Structure 1
């Protein structure tokens, strides 16, 4: 058939009310005919199903005079979309997008125009994957208020695409280990198309990648230390598997048995009722000093990376007998500093602004990972147990605890997934009693809400509402922190990249993002990407806090260079994976307001009290305090360094104090009730 005859046949068919599906030799079949359709609105004459009924004499029409409007078709399974054919009535769209989705929450744009002309628009050479395909109109051809959008046929063409991730690789086995490196091997993952590579992680940090080899070496390890190694598989489409099992490897001691010299000239820089500032002269070592340990009467009470520290959480009017010892990379300890420094803390309380952080009082202990924590209107606390999936009510005045319920549908990841964020609406909780939760499920990470009955002290699990799904999960990098805006209008969530770095810069993915939703889970109309994404380019967010000006601050984990504290702006790109903190290719990205070396940080929760931002750090085992000055962070101080071990969660407490939760033991394995944690009430200046 000649081209002229073909065009003529189409014209005759349109006049006759027939549907033309395209050239007879189209490579991919029509997928959308007769499939379920959902629309933003529908005029009484013209229901949604008319757009996929195969008859161009019928149409779907939206309500009149309103932009934007949309229609999407459910193909029943994920497909690769190669072509979309739109047949418009006179009320067409001049500006619209075509997008795909796997979950109807996150949409990936595959075509956009501001020059639509109506009639038949046959969009070929498209490249997208999804179960759902949407037309999203933002400007109508007929702008008068009595007209809407009118679509006679919505044809989607394609075939099954690769959306299936590889299977998890086999649990690694040890090939060889030295004091500074480990070589591991694993059995291959499988994939419906083919595995193209593997990523090896050490305790959540990427340490090696291969293009198909089943063995790899991770270096830069320390001697006489235990590490956890696991592997993820990748395919050509960028799908990433769930993680393998974890192999624990302990490196042997090195040949260095020479201890550092003893620190000298130990002296005080400040003495208060609950803290003592110390400084000393550096030790020397043949391979290098890695840190210092501070002792009281022979018992370690703190650590330091430098030649100074502030010991916090001390008892007023108490004599302390202090010494410092240096340690090197092999764990060799120096002789103690001499002489012993005898210092007596002041009597009473002298918690001044200059002091910053003062005392800490234990209010409870827990044998699970304490993750989310909120203060109720009566001053008591709710917190969750990450691995046991329970929510606990705590009265900090008496120490009385009660488990109010178990959150349904939570699944651990043999790593850092489980029951994570916990939040209440600061404006409406007193009347609605909703608890907002971020947790890992069998298939994803998600945000839900469940009502709490304060009178009965019970979680009403039958009230659960799922607000947002489709946040990819993995062993690590699940994010999880929740924070309401001070006016209670919006719920923000921090997510991780699920160990797939390609998700972070993709604004159609919910991973590696700050998300913003309404309290009922709907998407605010002014979100920058028409989905839940508020900012992007993040690695693994576990800290969110609002300041007195209503600005949102965020804390995220770096890989092996630096952690970062960010001031979040709408639609901002914060650079991961191109940029880690200020390291890498960082031009054009929003710069962090503060960075910390990963070895002295790996920080999780943050809180803001009286224009001071507090950061709880795990690997760094300390609490940082910075002062918010304009849009910068100044006067960085560290407290409790090594005093309580790993710190995970910090939240504002009544009377301008802080709640602080440790994360000691069992916080990387997903096993319930194998931790040794403390909940503390911290006084601040």
Structure 2
């Protein structure tokens, strides 16, 4: 639909006058703007003009319906029931002549609180309204411009009122085990309390939602578990307003073994499919099992003792061994396992000698350069080639010389509090342009009240963290046991700092552009908000579940990695103001039909993913995965990810962080033991240097 700059200017001027009038006394203290940045749904929309534009606080953007469709509508979800007393509509030229403003508790039953057949467009400030609802809708029945090429178009849809319920329930009490089987666990817990009322409980294990019950039920069962496996269960409470409590304490349960005590048969016919100076491709005849094979492990016999050097997660009878030593003989055996952790006898040994010569593979040698007994999270390379890294649970920053292995704790970040899960000291970043002059370390961490971004100066002469220089840049990112995000990344030009956040285990946060959770954030280095941010706050993109990977390619484009729940993880190419679909859409699974949702560039089954850090070297994306215990290598071609390869499958266990090394290789960290409990000094993490080939 056409629009003129004059019409836009007039609308902006009228809107500004309306705001001034309201500030002068038309709006009472209880007359609060409720709708800005909230989730919004429309009957239709044009490609330029998505529904979210109507609640972004910017009259230069708009929602437009499909042309020549009567009726058409748009509604906003306020997140809780409110008493609505005023609605202000800022129309584009394609306004509504006849329309209703309606409220609803559930999007099914609507009550009109304003009706007109004489709408004239411009700014319509509808005062003296009276109605209560969580959802508010504008329902147009007759267009101002009735020719077939026109529809309805709103610059801004602003709902004002009072009430609501901002108070979350109290945390549920400590869960206890009712019963368990090899594939399920039933737990119970003391009730949460709420100022209005608890409407439901969400049951999680290890950050993954596994069951939901109503607010009067205090037991729940999670299914789909594996036998003889340890899980950490906890419960969150919800109320009708969508508030989510902090979590209950964690109940650790090891499921009993099944009655399957028959191991798979030994793999046979182990043979090579490829041999280079640094890699061996293996294949074998699949094992059989009375229930089913779930995976294989490849061992190298060193002085007669087996050392695991590879795996095949799943039933695929093949593996790729990487980062091997040239001109070296490996004595290889393969075993199979089932879900009850029964292990087959080993295959006959196969001796394979790597060829001599230089590496011709994408991934070459691996050298351990450091270790930590705490969770290694954020990592940066200083100009002299040494490393700083965060220890998540003990809240220290450590200086490591990768050439000598020497390390030193340079300081403890103040006001950090862990979450008995995955919160604590997370992101670490330096400005690639100004660090040599200003020495700021940019840090993301969980505090007693929230997640936040701070900066603290590093003194290179004293090799210490100058905690007295701390500046708090961003606060108010909600915290929970899991889903705290944490990754930081500067743009290559050093102008903007980006941060990945989690939804704090409340999916509603992800679609609310007034919330900083479930987002990619963008701020100036001093914490101020860039003038061109799409929602006039720190939010750059939204609809994310738990963002833990950010990286820029050679074109200056931002790629993002996020955890799915139980179906798939995803890699996204981030665009300004983009909506990536969570919680309706997990990867490409769920209710993904909304044209406003941006599809991921690659997805990963969670059993082969649960990926955290990413980096880009020579326009190749490297993805470090925890549950998947692997590193993905993916070539960026245009806006696609191609030639996806897997390295280190099971070789080093869980992988968390990957960063570029100054020699064109990468730093890679493990995340083994203690990475889900916030207990200091109970991990066994390694830091590797990985050299890269062609």
Structure 1 residue 433 displacement after superposition = 0.8
Equivalent residues in 2 for 1:116-155, closer than 5 Å: 116=123, 122=127, 124=129
Q: CA deviation at 1:315?
A: 3.1
Counterpart in 1 of 2:400? 394
Q: 1:313 aligns with which of 301, 305, 323?
A: 323
Counterpart-to-counterpart distance in 2, 1:427 and 1:114: 49
Instruction: Summarize deviations over 1:576-628 as a string: whole Å, max 9, x none.
Output: 11111111111221111111110111000001111111000001111111111
Cα distance, 1:197–1:275 mapped onto 2, change above 3 Å: same
Say whether 1:326 aligns with 2:358.
no
Q: Work out the CA distance in 1 between the residues paired with 2:128 and 2:496.
A: 37
Q: Contact between 2:164 and 2:241, CA under 8 Å: does it hold in 1?
A: no
Contact 1:658 1:682 in 2 (8 A): yes
Q: Which of residues 562, 583, 589 is equivalent to 2:568?
A: 562
Corresponding position: 1:271 with 2:272: no
Summarize the Cα distance change of 1:121–1:501 in structure 2 as closer, same or farther, 3 Å threshold: closer
SS in 1 for 2:511: coil
Match of 2:598 in 1: 590
Contact 1:29 1:157 in 2 (8 A): no
Distance between the aligned counterparts of 1:593 and 1:94, measured in 2?
A: 36
Which has the greater radius of gyration?
1
From 413, 421, 429, the equivalent of 1:423 is 429
Aligned with 2:377: secondary structure? strand
- Normalised TM-score (structure 2): 0.78
Spell out the pairing of 1:128-527 with structure 2 (5 A cutoff): 161-212=164-215, 213-297=217-301, 298-305=306-313, 306-338=316-348, 340-348=349-357, 350-352=358-360, 355-527=361-533
Q: Any conservation in 1 of the 2:83–2:130 contact (CA below 8 Å)?
A: no
User: Aligned to 1:599, what secondary structure does the other structure show?
Assistant: helix
2:647 match: 639
Cα–Cα, structure 1 residues 245 and 283, in superposed 2: closer, same or farther, change >3 Å?
A: same
Query: In the aligned structure 2, how far is the partner of 1:123 from the partner of 1:390?
Result: 56
Q: Secondary structure at the match of 2:674?
A: coil
SS in 2 for 1:655: coil
Q: CA deviation at 1:642?
A: 1.0
SS at match of 1:503: helix
Residue 32 to residue 535, structure 1, CA distance change in 2 (3 Å): closer
Superposed CA deviations along residues 137-179 of structure 1, whole A, max 9, x for unmatched, are xxxxxxxxxxxxxxxxxxx996664111111101110000100
Contact 2:410 2:463 in 1 (8 A): yes
Distance 2:195 2:274 in 1: 65
Could you tell me how far apart the structure 2 residues matched to 1:654 and 1:207 are? Answer: 42
Which shows bigger deviation, 328-337 or 630-639? 328-337
| Secondary structure of residue in 2 paired with 1:538 | coil
Counterpart contact for 1:29–1:158, Cα < 8 Å: no
Is the CA contact (8 Å cut-off) linking 1:29 and 1:159 kept in structure 2? no
From the superposition, tell whether residues 351 and 237 of structure 1 become closer, same or farther in structure 2 (CA, over 3 Å). same
- SS of residue matched to 1:228: strand
Residue 31 (structure 1) shift: 5.2
Evaluate the alpha carbon distance shift between residue 31 and residue 581 of structure 1 in structure 2; reply closer, same or farther with a 3 A threshold: closer
In the superposition, relative to structure 1, how do residues 639 and 116 fare at CA in structure 2: closer, same or farther (>3 Å)?
same
| Alignment check: 8 A CA contact 1:85 1:123 kept | no
Gaps of 5+ in 2: 1-22, 33-58, 61-79, 93-119, 135-158
Deviations 1:42-99 (A, max 9, x none): xxxxxxxxxxxxxxxxxxxxxxxxx99xxxxxxxxx997754799xxxxxx999xxxx
Would you identify which runs of 4 or more consecutive aligned residues in structure 1 move more than 6 Å? 19-22, 78-81, 126-129
**Residue 616 of structure 1 aligns with which residue?**
624
How far the C-alpha of 1:128 sits from its partner, in A, is 11
CA distance in structure 1 between the partners assigned to 2:128 and 2:531 by the alignment: 28
Work out the CA distance in 2 between the residues paired with 1:603 and 1:121: 49
| Separation in 1, partners of 2:365, 2:651 | 12
Shift of 1:520: 1.0
Task: Return the offset for 1:272.
Answer: 2.9
Cα 1:576–1:428 change in 2 (3 A) is same
Shift of 1:396: 0.7
8 Å CA contact retained: 2:299, 2:309: yes
Contact 1:379–1:654 (Cα < 8 Å) also in 2: yes
2:81 and 2:337 map into 1 onto residues whose CA distance is: 58
TM-score when normalising by structure 1: 0.79
Say whether the 8 Å CA contact 1:275–1:359 is kept in structure 2.
no
Match in the other structure for 2:146? none
Distance 1:530 1:123, change over 3 A: farther
Alpha-carbon distance in 1 for matches of 2:327, 2:24: 89
- Structure 1 pair 257/82, CA: closer, same or farther in 2 (3 Å)? same
1:677 and 2:680 aligned: no
| Partner SS, residue 504 of structure 1 | helix
Separation in structure 1 between the aligned mates of residue 452 and residue 281 of structure 2, nearest angstrom: 44
Q: Matches of 2:300 and 2:538 in 1, distance apart?
A: 51
**CA distances 1:303-343 after superposition (whole Å, capped 9, x unpaired):** 112222112233333321101111111111122122x1101
What value does the CA root-mean-square deviation take over the aligned residues?
2.7
How many residue pairs get aligned? The number is: 567
Indicate whether 1:580 and 2:586 are aligned: yes
Pair 1:21–1:656, CA change in 2 (3 A): closer
Cα distance in 1 for partners of 2:440, 2:128 equals: 46
Cα separation, partners in 2 of 1:399 and 1:115, compared to 1, 3 Å: same
Give distance in 1, aligned partners of 2:661 and 2:133: 48
